[in-house]
């Protein structure tokens, strides 16, 4: 029997109205939004369903919104009896994975990611940091691009998503230069990403330190499902490591491709992207075309997933 992995998206997957259908059809999903509202003192349904793209794009709103929607979808899957053999999430998605693994209570996670978003945003004033995706270039090529661009400021690899897609982050001028250099060196495309801060690079170290103070107030629980972390692309073996890993995660590169490769090596043949968007499904497909890739974000995708798993 092959194994099933649940994977959870990070920032950028948000959309106005996400989760509404699931909440209208499943009490467990609706309860999830209500729990987030209670934990944060912000009307989560109003924020996610009735605000606008700009408001939802503010990092301290985006992070709890995506987490809430992802966990709402997760609860529906759990109610249907679908279980994961392992879990992982890209960047912010790692918190959804911890909720799935049972290592962090949802109410703690939603409070944490709101603070995480706030600290990440405050660390680098808007306009001073940027991120860009470099497409069609091997890892060593991108590392060379970062080295050359570093003459103009901080520029570091931030996300290793899949073969031929690596994201860089750093100071705006250096990241703009990196795009030019990458194109000169033969990248297919190099494009700035619509984010408000340079995530997963050393410019965010201070944000990680502030988050560490918040993590001290959280009780971590034993993991019921194995979880792989962005920082090492390996399993988290002990709940005592979680706080340290989540602090580092803010300013470390995301080793997504290696996480997927490790899951494949460990026998995963079905990936279910739980929550908004299908970005991770695309990455998995580029890493291995033979595996089954499903997602759950609304009624249609849920029904398709249940049908595919013949439940």
Yes or no: say if 100 and 8 are a contact pair by the CB < 8 Å rule. Answer: yes
- The Cα–Cα gap between 209 and 215 comes to 10
Q: Please say if the pLDDT value at position 311 is more than 70.
A: no
Q: Given the residues 70, 91, 96, 251, select the one marked as catalytic.
A: 91
- The Cα–Cα gap between 162 and 287 comes to 6
Q: State pLDDT tens for residues 136-160.
A: 999 999 999 999 999 999 999 999 9
Q: State pLDDT tens for residues 67-76.
A: 999 999 999 9
Q: Please say if the pLDDT value at position 174 is more than 80.
A: yes
Q: State pLDDT tens for residues 21-38.
A: 999 999 999 999 999 999
Residue 74: per-residue pLDDT: 98
Residue 126: per-residue pLDDT: 82
Please give the CATH topology (third level) of the domain spanning 129-195: Alpha-Beta Plaits (3.30.70)
100's tokens: 């799935």
DSSP assignment of 122-180:
HHS-TTSEEEEEEES--HHHHHHHHHHHGGGS-EEEEEEEETTEEEEEEEHHHHHHHHH
- The Cα–Cα gap between 16 and 20 comes to 9
Q: Please say if the pLDDT value at position 135 is more than 90.
A: yes
In the structure, what pLDDT confidence band is assigned to residue 108 with cuts at 50, 70 and 90?
A: very high
Does residue 70 have an active-site annotation? no
52's tokens: 């606008």
With CA atoms as reference, report the closest residue to 18 among 43, 47, 38.
47
What's the distance, CA 212 to chain centroid?
Answer: 19
User: In Å, what is the CA distance from 192 to each residue of 189, 227, 243?
Assistant: 10, 31, 31
Average pLDDT over every residue of 214-240? 97
What's the distance, CA 204 to chain centroid?
Answer: 16
Yes or no: say if 171 and 128 are a contact pair by the CB < 8 Å rule. Answer: yes
Residue 123: per-residue pLDDT: 94
Q: Where are the CATH 3.30.70.250 domain residues in the chain? A: 129-195
Residue 195: per-residue pLDDT: 79
Q: What are phi and psi of 221, to 5 degrees?
A: -110, 165
Q: Strand pairing of 268-274 and 3-8?
A: parallel
Residue 127: per-residue pLDDT: 87
Q: Where are the CATH 3.40.366.10 domain residues in the chain? A: 3-123+203-308
Mean pLDDT of the chain: 96
- The Cα–Cα gap between 93 and 7 comes to 8
**Bridge partners, residue 131, by sequence:** 169
Residue 84: per-residue pLDDT: 98
Which of helix, strand or coil describes residue 139? helix
**Residue 278 burial (CB count, 10 A):** 17
What's the distance, CA 81 to chain centroid?
Answer: 24
Report, at the CATH architecture level, how domain 3-123+203-308 is classified. Answer: 3-Layer(aba) Sandwich (3.40)
Does residue 91 have an active-site annotation? yes
Q: Given the residues 70, 96, 200, 301, select the one marked as catalytic.
A: 200
């Amino acid at each position: 029997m092959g194994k099933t992995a649940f994977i959870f998206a990070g920032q950028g997957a948000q959309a106005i109205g996400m989760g509404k259908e699931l909440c209208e059809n499943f009490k467990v999903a609706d309860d999830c939004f209500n729990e987030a509202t209670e934990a944060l003192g912000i009307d989560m349904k109003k924020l996610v369903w009735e605000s606008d793209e700009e408001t939802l794009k503010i990092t301290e709103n985006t992070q709890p919104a995506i987490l809430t929607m992802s966990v709402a979808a997760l609860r529906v899957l759990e109610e249907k009896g679908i279980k994961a053999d392992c879990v992982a999430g890209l960047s912010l998605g790692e918190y959804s994975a911890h909720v799935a693994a049972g290592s962090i209570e949802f109410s703690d996670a939603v409070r944490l990611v709101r603070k995480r978003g706030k600290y990440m945003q405050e660390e680098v004033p808007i306009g001073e940091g940027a991120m860009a995706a470099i497409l069609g270039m091997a890892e060593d090529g991108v590392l060379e691009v970062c080295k050359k661009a570093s003459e103009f400021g901080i520029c570091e690899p931030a996300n290793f998503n899949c073969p031929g897609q690596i994201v860089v982050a750093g100071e705006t001028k250096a990241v703009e230069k990196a795009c030019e250099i990458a194109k000169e060196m033969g990248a297919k495309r190099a494009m700035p990403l619509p984010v408000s801060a340079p995530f997963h690079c050393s410019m965010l170290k201070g944000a990680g330190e502030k988050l560490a103070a918040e993590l001290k107030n959280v009780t971590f629980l034993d993991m019921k499902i194995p979880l792989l972390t962005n920082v090492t692309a390996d399993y988290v073996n002990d709940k005592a490591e979680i706080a340290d890993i989540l602090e580092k995660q803010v300013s470390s590169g995301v080793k997504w491709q290696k996480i997927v490769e490790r899951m494949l090596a460990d026998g995963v043949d079905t990936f279910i992207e739980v929550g908004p968007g299908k970005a991770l499904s695309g990455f998995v497909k580029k890493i291995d075309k033979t595996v089954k890739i499903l997602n759950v974000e609304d009624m249609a995708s849920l029904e398709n997933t249940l049908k595919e798993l013949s439940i």
